[in-house]
Amino acid sequence: MLQTIETLVKRLDHPSLSQSNVISWGCPVPSFGDISKAKIATLGLNPSNREFVDSSGTELDGGLRRFHTLRSLGLRRWANAKTKHLSMINDACRGYFAHNPYDLWFKSLDEIISGTKTSFYAASAPACHLDLIPYATLCKWTDLSVRQRSTLLEVAGDTLGLLLRDSPVRLLILNGQTVVGNLERITGASFEKRAVRQWTLPRSTGMGVSGHAYTGRITEIAGIRLKRPVTILGYNHNIQSSFGVTKEVKNSIRSWISRTASEVFHESP
């Protein structure tokens, strides 16, 4: 992991990142939780700016701090980072859910995977969260320009491959249509898509928003060959932000993930 973190830290000096709204003074976030112990991981787009700042945009500090910054590490620039600094970043990632996690976002996602008998918050059966891009941006992914999003994928799209290659993760759960589409883009894969009636989001008028399940397997990400196939399960609704995601829909997605996870691990050697 330290080697991957070193690579990601060096990329913070990439000139393209400065034009992509990346929080350049915040460290890369390769994982939320200990990926070295997780067989199940959820996947999002990129870390929220709230991992580094409060609602007024002020850098989190003291007991509220979640991840390291240039200031917390006592550095002027990332080029000066040493092994001890990389270890501190790694420790913050591994212990994320024990120290002021962003529960407003993670609790609902943890509920979705709860049927697998794993949890972000359980030391005995840990799951972890990963992002396609390990860098937080000043604004939401959807507010970035098409060019900025493409740049981030070009500069850091291999990160997920580097992480999964050296981890025990066997099952990757994709949170939302945008995550599904971008993972297909960097893997060259085309996941099987199936309409699920029980996942339709109700609307006051019209037929509602259809729900779709995605399944597949990947063996390579952005040119990085994995040591074993990783099973993909995805759904088109973003659990945290899709309007009108009901309790019934969440329960149905959770049951589907639970059933499929049991099959995946029953088949695994």
DSSP 8-class letter at 84: H
The model's pLDDT over 183-217, given as tens digits with 9 standing for 90+, comes to 999 999 999 999 999 999 888 777 888 999 999 99
Q: Which of 168, 172, 243, 238 is nearest to 202 (CA)?
A: 243
As a whole number of angstroms, the distance between CA 224 and CA 218 comes to 11
pLDDT value at 236 more than 90: yes
The model's pLDDT over 16-60, given as tens digits with 9 standing for 90+, comes to 887 899 999 999 999 999 999 999 999 999 999 999 999 999 999
pLDDT value at 263 more than 80: yes
Candidates 2.40.10, 3.30.70, 2.60.40, 3.40.470; CATH matching 2-267: 3.40.470
pLDDT value at 269 more than 60: no
As a whole number of angstroms, the distance between CA 96 and CA 54 comes to 17
- Residue 268 has a pLDDT of 54
Give CA separation, 100 vs 42, 52, 60, 123, 252, in Å.
19, 12, 11, 16, 29
Long-range contacts of 119-124 (CB under 8 A, 24+ apart): 120/32, 120/33, 121/97
- Residue 13 has a pLDDT of 84
pLDDT value at 256 more than 70: yes
- Residue 252 has a pLDDT of 95
The number of angstroms, rounded, from the C-alpha of 161 to the middle of its chain's C-alpha atoms is 13
Residue 96: count of CB within 10 angstroms of its CB: 23
The model's pLDDT over 122-169, given as tens digits with 9 standing for 90+, comes to 988 889 999 999 999 999 998 999 999 999 999 999 999 999 999 999
* Three-state DSSP class for residue 187: helix
Strands (E), the chain: 40-44, 128-131, 171-175, 192-195, 212-221, 224-235
* Domain range annotation of the chain: 2-267
* Section 102-131 average pLDDT: 93
- Residue 17 has a pLDDT of 85
pLDDT value at 267 more than 70: no
Average predicted confidence (pLDDT) for the chain: 92
pTM above 0.75, yes or no: yes
* Section 172-176 average pLDDT: 96
As a whole number of angstroms, the distance between CA 223 and CA 164 comes to 13
- Residue 242 has a pLDDT of 61
